[in-house]
Structure 1
Amino acid sequence: MLVMDNVHAGYGMTKVLHGLSLEVRDSEVLSVCGPNGAGKSTLLRVISRQLALRRGDVMWEHASLKQVSPSQVVRRGIALCPEGRRVFPRMTTEENLQIGAYARSDRSAVRREIEQFLDRWPVIARRRDSAAGLLSGGEQQILAIGRALMSRPKLLLLDEPSLGLAPVLIDQVYVALKELVEERDLSVLLVEQNVVKAMSLCDRVAVLNGGEITFSSSVTDTTPEAVGSHYFEKVAE
């Protein structure tokens, strides 16, 4: 479904991704874990076309994304839920969901899906007409995921959904994620530092270290401890 081939990317003079190759298969959850500064968020920015490639290619459904705009990426079926929730705090909860569907023309279906989302989360529904910034951190993260899903993606990119949340809220977010993934036929690329939580959701796990994938395995063939041990491996120059 998604294939990254020999991807090089960075910011200014700083090189972040060094020949990264990665595949996300149909209807699977792949988690990319790694230490701070490994390039995890950069990886998602490249896929969503918020950052240009320097070398290599990103193929989506057998077509290159190299010359595709960020809005066209969304229309082709890829949605990003960014790090740090980033809801629009002064807009209402419902307006945040509506923005996620900006590329869709089936407005009646959009309204129906908003109601379905709010029916699932009564605590969020009670704030549908209130500013999204009034929600708790965990509720804002669930809202951000719901907003991304409103575009009806085939591939959901999730950037550090547990970042900055208390353990009880992390549990809440991952319960929501598991339910949403199980009821939809979509692939997920999850970037996460919390290896235990990531492996509770994903089918495969990979480690990004020094801008390269240094380890990859099915979750049934490894352990969180084994995955974490690859965080500190020295990457060959």
Structure 2
Amino acid sequence: MGLTAYEYSFGHGVRLREDTARKLGEEFRKYGILPSCHAPYYINFGAPEPEKQENSLRHLRETAIRCDYMDGRRVVFHPGVAGKDRAAAVERIKLGIKAALSELDQLGLGHIILCPETMGKLSQIGDLDETLSFCRLDERLIPCVDFGHLYARSLGTDQGDEATARIIQEMIDAIGLERTRIMHVHFSNIEYTKAGEKRHHNYGVTEYGPDFGPLARQIVKWNLTPTIICESAGRMAEDAALFQEIYRRTKEESL
């Protein structure tokens, strides 16, 4: 299918053995596939409890170790939930991220890039501004911009050429063009309620957005080279190939 990136999910825990991870890395290299890893969904650096902070660090650490075994360089993670005091949760998340970077340095994993993800539910920390504020903490932080999540948490307004151009410009203003150029991207159509994200759908089969075309046009305009992971409900590879074709057509039309 010509796909060149794969995100290995540790969503429900890190239980992959070292030898298996290294074998996966060999296969990724054999087929020219760039691996990344998604850390467990249990991470919540926004929590005030020390035990939850320690568990979050452990989940991120164990994911980074397996990612390195695979010869991957990016670890995507959900920052945390807002709780009763959103501003306080954001500050705790910043401290947690700094602690995670320090721990990775001590383990000889300073080359691993952490990718805080924009989130789809309003109760979660991870609107675009919050995510970019985390990425300003260190050059080794690159945003995982989930355009479906931004669409869902905005209740359908963050879509189309104008909104997508604004998102990219906000990123450039916050973290610079070079890091924006190599951003990590999740993309899928997402159904939402007044609370934000409800469920993922396959691309183009429901009334829910967003459309991939506006992002493809921004990629061409700015000469971006993001890693794009499709998160469609049941046909991730097929929709990823479709995104790739939309991008190719967009690039050809711009010449």
Specify the TM-score bucket, using the shorter chain as the normaliser.
0.3 to 0.5
Q: How high is the TM-score relative to the length of structure 1?
A: 0.38
**Structure with greater helix share of residues:** 2
